[in-house]
A and B are shown apart, each in its own frame.
Chain A
Amino acid sequence: MTGQDLMERIQKNVGVPWQSQRTDGDADGIYLGKPETVVTGIATSYAATVEVMRRAVASGKNTIICREAPFYSRGERAPIGYRNAPAPPKEVIENDPVCRFKKDFISQNNLLIVHLVDNWDARTTNGQVSGLAHSLGWEQYSANKAGEYPAAFGFFQPPQTSLGALVRSVSEKLKIRGTRVIGDASSPVRSVALSPGLLLVARAEQILRTQPVDVVIAGDAVEWEAGPYFQDLVNAKKAKGLVLLGNEASEEPGCGQMATWLKTFITEVPVDWIPAGEPFWTLRSERGAQ
């Protein structure tokens, strides 16, 4: 199976009309590497970090399927407008020592870096939501008992808890340290929406219009948009809080889900999820309680 064969196989199995380009940034497909390269094994991950690539190579896999582009920019891909940097000019990427190191590592190891986001997210069951629900052990609390997640967010009713206890529980399950929270830790929580990735105000409004949940759990937020929007919601007693897991932590479980899905139609090479892991530590995680 070559890289080209892999892409055709994915297109055939994705179950939605394949979207092969977008005007505002990187479309799905082979991002780096030659399509004729023979696939020796596949790693799925949030990002093809240097460590993820090393672990893939060490386990004999030369293909990494990821959400984020290897050079730290989504390009012009929405959401833009001062939320997202324009892609650095090509010559900056070419001369940057970190990018050069990465590029050399990719070519020396004959790697294929595949970008798979738009078509994965467009599937009839959203793998990012189901992946996060699975990692939290929350499938049993899903408002949709059929286990389908048709939207980019899902509604859950875990046993009644407080915001503080909810945050401790999800942080422990995901093994993360940098969970950021808006809201009063003692507020009671009965209903939660999971919305992996960057939360925009329009999405927050859509969630709350659909079902007025106590808490939204997302990846990250623009800190003059959905951040203060939730500060104001909490202040006006229209919601109990916002929990931000980190972009990686919120999207990574969906990459695990992607590996599970790929295995249903790829059997000739190993397929594994190699999580990039939370990049951050905090003073509390380093020094104990502050």
Chain B
Amino acid sequence: MTNRVSRRRFCQLAAGSLVMAPGLVRAFGQPVAGKLTAREVVRRIREKTGITWRTPTADEFKVGDPDAPITGITTTFMSTFDVLRRSVAQGNNFVISHEPTFWSSNDMISEIKDDPLYQEKIKYIEDHKLVVWRFHDHWHARRPDGIFAGWNRTMGWDNYTIPGTTFMAHEYAIPEIHLVDLAGELQDKLNLKSLRIVGDPELKVKRVGNAGHYIGQCMALLPRVDVLMVFECREWEAAEYVRDAIASGEKKGLLQMSHEGGEEMGMDECARWLSTFVNEVPIKFIPSGDPFWLGA
């Protein structure tokens, strides 16, 4: 124990003096981490969200030892293999991911345990002593919803939010803009690579609704807005609905983004928020990014 403390103190000193050689500092083990564990970070998160913790919840440790000292925190939307590798390169061994690591809503391992890809990913995680914790339900449940706080900040749309709108049914009153130009603004600000659009490019837009994922949300919002935004929405829902609305004579439009486009800036917000009560280790938002490029 004493040995570990002195070793840690040595590393802290080393970290202070070897600013030009972060790789070398990391080679010594945990540089300035002290005893901070993933479990302690999650304890603080639970306290700071200020809401009652739900059970069951997706927000659990998915893999790794929550009681091991952490070297740095990555927040990300999707803990893809690429994001894990970039975390390791960054020296962060604790990954806080909004979405699953193993490609199902509850990270169901039983169905994929024989999959060679699963085996390779889990081996990488174990070899690099990574800890992955999911932060989905409660980041949404916090007020303001952390995901949409980040999205609004990135878009600069905080002042356009119509008060009283609800979870996954945000309405915005924006300065009038043509649909095609609004699409361009979203593409630029959210770094979208696969935005798909329904409606007249010259449609004049003043009201925009964030309809999230589902047709029920689309039906609730469309009568009140000019344009719906959806992400991670089945294509037989929003796109078919909006094109029929247009064919029925309504002046409407749809912006269909990747899942990341709709939500990943919320994990940038999460990194910012974490740094207000975690200061022992570096914290970095690593975007998983729009996974798609348009081929046509």
Contact = CB atoms under 8 A, between A and B. Distances in A.
A96 B237 CA distance: 14
Interface stretch (A4-12, A130-138, A258-266, A276-284): A276-284
A281 B292 contact: no
Interface stretch (B14-22, B114-122, B138-146): B114-122
Given A73-B215, A177-B296, A224-B232, A49 B240 contact: yes
A229 B103 contact: yes
Given A92-B219, A168-B295, A201-B103, A283 B248 contact: no
Contacts of A220: 234-235
Nearest to B259: A223
A78 B136 CA distance: 24
Contact of A88 (B81, B219, B238, B242): B219
Contacts of A151: none
Nearest to B233: A85
Nearest to B249: A101
Chain B CB within 10 Å — which of A81, A220, A228 has the most?
Answer: A228
B158 interface: no
A255 B121 CA distance: 39
Interface stretch (B43-51, B62-70, B169-177, B179-187): B179-187
Contacts, number: 201
A47 B240 contact: yes
Contact of B198 (A179, A229, A280): A280
A37 interface: no
Nearest to B108: A201
Contact of B295 (A49, A68, A167, A226): A167
Interface string B216-254: 111110110000000110111111111111011010000
A198 B234 contact: yes
B23 interface: no
A194 interface: no
Given A205-B115, A247-B235, A248-B235, A280 B196 contact: yes
A186 interface: no
Given A227-B291, A231-B82, A235-B82, A284 B296 contact: yes
Interface in B247-296: 247-248, 250, 256, 258-260, 288, 291-296
Nearest to B116: A238
Contact of A279 (B198, B222, B259, B260): B198
A180 B292 contact: yes
Nearest to A92: B219
Nearest to B258: A223
A10 B194 CA distance: 40
Contacts of A236: 81, 117, 120-121
A215 B231 CA distance: 24
A192 interface: no
Interface in B146-203: 180, 183-184, 187, 194-198, 201
B8 interface: no
Given A284-B296, A285-B296, A85 B120 contact: no
B216 A86 contact: yes
Interface in A79-106: 81-86, 88, 92, 96-99, 101-102
Contact of B247 (A50, A283, A286): A50
A222 B82 CA distance: 19
Nearest to B219: A96
Contacts of A69: 236
Nearest to A88: B216
Given A98-B248, A201-B112, A228-B80, A282 B198 contact: no
Contacts of A50: 243-244, 247-248
A85 B237 contact: yes
Contacts of A235: 80-82, 85
A181 B214 contact: no
20 contacts: A47-B236, A49-B247, A54-B247, A74-B234, A86-B216, A88-B219, A92-B220, A98-B222, A98-B248, A168-B295, A179-B295, A179-B296, A181-B293, A223-B258, A235-B80, A235-B85, A243-B295, A279-B240, A280-B196, A286-B180
Please name the 5 residue pairs, one residue from A and one from B, whose CB atoms are nearest each other, closest first.
Answer: A167-B295, A85-B214, A50-B247, A223-B259, A180-B292
Given A92-B216, A228-B103, 17 more contacts: A49-B243, A82-B105, A85-B213, A85-B216, A98-B248, A164-B295, A167-B295, A223-B259, A224-B100, A224-B104, A231-B291, A232-B81, A236-B81, A236-B121, A281-B197, A282-B294, A284-B296
